[in-house]
């Protein structure tokens, strides 16, 4: 073995490493470490340089362990350089020593780039649809060596380094290579395995070291309050959902029975000590519950990583990472797979409108307004104190569109409910005069956000035909759920916020006053078929002092329960898909809190258990009876029978579908018991009472029609039935033919 040079000595220090380079490395301001570190040709020979703090001696070796040269310590902080015996550039390793022993380090600066020119082309164009496989941290084998490849977009940074528990969070050790055409920084780190915490140390354009940043493409994160990203491998899941995916890929979702159970995963149920359930524990409890209740889908409030529990996930800092609160990402994949095996879809509440300003997040990511607009009139959301994505920047659009594709592909998600769409569509959303910037035509429409939503929907539906995209959009923006080629935004469905607002307002009034507000319940039918609607009774209606749904109802306790039962029957008979927030199916009294479990003990009481049974039976009836769902989004599936009986607050209509038995829905929104109430029906004969919300099994008074009514032609030539209307109740009658 050749004896290494003495510490601090070299025959030609300027040739091995210039003092300016040494100072730049040690002061964390070397902007192009690949030009200095690693092996480099120097005339007819090769010189290798490395930075190994703590080492006192270093020899260079091939990857096979053959010694190829001893390096001199050119700075006692751990910088070494020396001539090595190489015939061509190739990966090498270093054997470092100090008084504690020796160790081997494979030189990351001896590997070439991983990303290629086609990646650069599509990234620069903003059309790269596999960014989630390229950016972030991914395990790979390069030149026979296993490790992790890291890549991050920071075009205005002077230097970017990977730091983590594998390099003592020292930004000098693993500075990255800049791909100048795209602003992507990348490095392959040999020997890195799964389970390491890491971040990016970024030096801004003016030489300032920024707060450490989590990886925007991280696929796993630390559990709060820690906020680093975690190295992780591909999702290891053996999917067993081919039949489920095939069904939705070939079905017309508008004509399917869709009943969504909206869930906040951290507070649906908890352990006795208050600890959150894991994904596997949720699967054991939540999936059988939803099967029994007859829901077709579970929609989760955002489960992408977020730092602050009371944000409910809507202020996410890890858009590609399932939150660590419920375990590893594979746990979520197992949950989705378990849902699909029993025919339940999973929808993710998705937040592409804005992001929080936490120091480790996207805000001022490379020292500039990279993901957000620099102008606060465009880039800051006053309602939520968050930053707004710059939808006019191709790289930002690619980041978000890739995220939608990522969840669909890697986790087989059935849908994305897109949060706060209205805030994206309008430049003056929640802003006063002078606080917003008009578009190029002087209007308040955010044309860049429109193009983003259209592009996102087009790409997602093209890649995953069975997916549902659902807009939470509260304005009259036209064609939200119309195809992009028809000038629409391209969503599959839109939340019907008007239905929710009008009906809850009506039901909060004492029954004696309802006749003066009859239009609250009929107005929605004027626009019910202009979009593909979901009727949402969501978490937003049971927080911030609004009270639970049962608490909103008018009257004494008996009337509150009867009102809510009648309302659910009304809603499940009304055109549109259904959504109900957890706890409302058994009439939880308390307003929802994210800090604790639902009040499951209420099911010990008959009125609460009766409400749960009603929701279960409504879901079952809705699913079994095509007349109730097959024309949810089309006007020919609805026909008014009674729309103007203000005095009695009675509503009745027909639901129908080609080749299916018609169903009449009749609701009495007063506590008055009515006998021989005439309801016009289209066909003579026996109409079976298939559902009565006043049934004793649901906690009602048990009034009804003995199982059926008879429709007869009257003296005036019209067909009608004399029906008993229970107090505060909804009936469903099916033609028995």
Side-chain-facing half-sphere of 589: CA atoms under 13 Å: 8
Sheet of 354-355: strand order equals 354-355, 386-388, 380-381
Torsion of CA 457, 371, 139, 321, to 10 degrees: -70
Number of helices (H), then strands (E), belonging to the chain: the values are: 16, 35
Verify whether residue 395 is a known catalytic residue.
Answer: no
Residue in 278, 128, 148 with CA at minimum distance from that of residue 215: 148
Residue in 564, 540, 562, 544 with CA at minimum distance from that of residue 552: 564
Rounded to 5 degrees, φ, ψ at 4 are -70, 150
3-state DSSP assignment of residue 372 = strand
d(CA 505, CA 603): 27
The answer to whether the bond into 700 is cis (omega within 30° of 0) is no
Residue 598 backbone class (left: φ over 0; alpha: ψ -120 to 50; beta: rest) = beta
d(CA 149, CA 137): 6
d(CA 593, CA 325): 17
The residue with tokens 């053959």 is 66
State the catalytic residue, choosing from 330, 448, 472, 689.
Answer: 472
d(CA 487, CA 481): 10
Q: For residue 265, what is the DSSP state?
A: T
State the catalytic residue, choosing from 366, 419, 541, 585.
Answer: 419
d(CA 269, CA 52): 50
Q: Are 725 and 678 in contact (CB under 8 A)?
A: no
d(CA 71, CA 80): 6
Q: Are 650 and 669 in contact (CB under 8 A)?
A: yes
Q: How many residues does the chain have?
A: 737
Side-chain-facing half-sphere of 7: CA atoms under 13 Å: 10
**CB-CB neighbours of 510 under 10 Å:** 11
Q: What is the DSSP string of 110-137?
A: GS--SS-HHHHHHHHHT--S-HHHHSEE
Cα–Cα distances (Å) from 391 to 215, 403, 474, 557, 708, in that order, read 20, 14, 20, 49, 57
Verify whether residue 419 is a known catalytic residue.
Answer: yes
3-state DSSP assignment of residue 270 = strand
Torsion of CA 120, 41, 68, 100, to 10 degrees: -70
Side-chain-facing half-sphere of 716: CA atoms under 13 Å: 4
Rounded to 5 degrees, φ, ψ at 80 are -125, 150
Q: Where are the alpha helices (DSSP H) in 62-172?
A: 117-125, 131-134
d(CA 679, CA 700): 22
Q: Which two tokens stand for residue 346?
A: 């999973």
Sheet of 136-142: strand order equals 136-142, 145-153, 184-190, 177-179
Q: Which two tokens stand for residue 696?
A: 């004793």
Q: Which two tokens stand for residue 360?
A: 């480790």
d(CA 262, CA 256): 18
d(CA 89, CA 52): 21
d(CA 624, CA 622): 6
Q: Are 360 and 317 in contact (CB under 8 A)?
A: yes
Residues taking part in catalysis: 419, 472
């Amino acid at each position: 073995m050749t004896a290494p040079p003495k510490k601090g000595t070299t025959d030609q220090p300027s040739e091995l490493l210039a003092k300016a380079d040494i100072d730049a490395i040690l002061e964390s301001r070397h902007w192009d470490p690949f030009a200095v570190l690693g092996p480099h040709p120097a005339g007819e020979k090769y010189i290798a340089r490395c930075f190994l703090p703590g080492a006192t001696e270093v020899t260079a070796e091939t990857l096979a362990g053959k010694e190829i040269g001893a390096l001199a310590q050119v700075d006692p902080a751990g910088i070494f350089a020396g001539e090595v015996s190489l015939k061509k550039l190739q990966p090498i390793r270093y054997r470092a020593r100090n008084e504690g022993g020796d160790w081997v380090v494979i030189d990351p600066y001896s590997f070439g780039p991983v990303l290629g020119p086609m990646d650069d082309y599509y990234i620069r164009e903003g059309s790269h649809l596999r960014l989630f496989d390229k950016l972030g941290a991914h395990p790979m084998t390069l030149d026979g060596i296993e490790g992790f490849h890291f890549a991050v977009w920071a075009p205005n940074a002077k230097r970017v380094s990977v730091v983590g528990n594998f390099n003592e969070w020292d930004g000098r050790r693993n500075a990255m290579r800049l791909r100048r055409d795209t602003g992507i920084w990348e490095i392959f780190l040999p020997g890195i395995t799964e389970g390491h915490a890491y971040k990016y140390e970024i030096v801004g354009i003016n030489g300032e070291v920024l707060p450490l940043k989590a990886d925007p493409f991280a696929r796993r994160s630390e559990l709060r309050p820690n906020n680093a990203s975690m190295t992780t491998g591909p999702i290891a899941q053996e999917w067993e959902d081919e039949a489920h995916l095939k069904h939705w890929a070939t079905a017309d979702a508008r004509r399917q029975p869709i009943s969504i159970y909206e869930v906040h995963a951290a507070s649906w149920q908890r352990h006795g000590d208050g600890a959150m359930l894991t994904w596997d524990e949720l699967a054991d409890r939540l999936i059988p519950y939803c099967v029994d209740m007859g829901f077709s889908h579970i929609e989760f409030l955002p489960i992408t990583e977020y730092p602050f529990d009371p944000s409910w996930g809507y202020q996410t800092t890890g858009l590609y990472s399932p939150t660590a609160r419920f375990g590893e990402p594979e746990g979520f994949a197992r949950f989705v797979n378990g849902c699909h095996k029993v025919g339940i879809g999973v929808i993710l509440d998705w937040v592409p409108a804005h992001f929080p300003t936490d120091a480790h997040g996207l805000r001022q990511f490379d020292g500039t307004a990279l993901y957000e607009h620099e102008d606060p009139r465009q880039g800051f959301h006053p309602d939520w104190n968050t930053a707004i994505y710059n939808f006019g920047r191709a790289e930002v659009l690619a980041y978000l569109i890739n995220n939608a594709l990522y969840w669909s592909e890697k986790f087989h998600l059935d849908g994305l409910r897109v949060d706060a769409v209205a805030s994206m569509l309008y430049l003056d959303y929640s802003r006063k005069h002078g606080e917003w910037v008009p578009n190029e035509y002087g209007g308040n429409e955010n044309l860049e956000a429109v193009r983003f939503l259209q592009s996102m929907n087009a790409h997602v539906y093209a890649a995953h035909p069975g997916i549902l995209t659902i807009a939470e959009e509260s304005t009259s923006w036209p064609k939200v759920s119309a195809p992009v080629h028809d000038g629409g935004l391209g969503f599959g469905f839109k939340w019907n916020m008007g239905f929710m607002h009008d009906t809850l307002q009506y039901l909060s009034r004492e029954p004696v006053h309802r006749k003066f507000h009859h239009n609250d319940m009929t107005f929605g039918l004027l626009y019910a078929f202009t979009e593909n609607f979901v009727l949402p009774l969501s978490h937003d209606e049971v927080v911030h002092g609004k009270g639970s749904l049962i608490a909103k109802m008018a009257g004494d306790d008996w009337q509150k329960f009867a009102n809510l039962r009648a309302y659910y029957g009304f809603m499940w008979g009304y055109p549109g898909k259904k959504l109900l927030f957890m706890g409302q199916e058994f009439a939880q009294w308390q307003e929802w809190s994210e800090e604790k479990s639902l009040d499951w003990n209420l099911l010990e009481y008959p009125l609460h258990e009766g409400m749960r049974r009603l929701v279960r039976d409504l879901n079952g009836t809705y699913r079994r009876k095509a007349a109730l769902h097959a024309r949810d989004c089309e006007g020919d599936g609805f026909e008014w029978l009674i729309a103007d009986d203000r005095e009695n607050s009675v509503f009745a209509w027909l639901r129908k579908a080609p080749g299916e038995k018609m169903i009449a829905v009749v609701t009495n929104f007063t506590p008055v018991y009515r006998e021989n109430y005439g309801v016009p029906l289209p066909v003579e004969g026996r109409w079976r009472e298939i559902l009565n919300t006043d049934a004793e099994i649901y906690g009602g008074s048990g009034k009804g029609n003995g199982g059926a009514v008879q429709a007869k032609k009257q003296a005036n030539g019209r067909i009608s039935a004399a029906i008993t209307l229970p107090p505060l109740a909804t009936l469903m009658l099916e033609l028995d033919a």
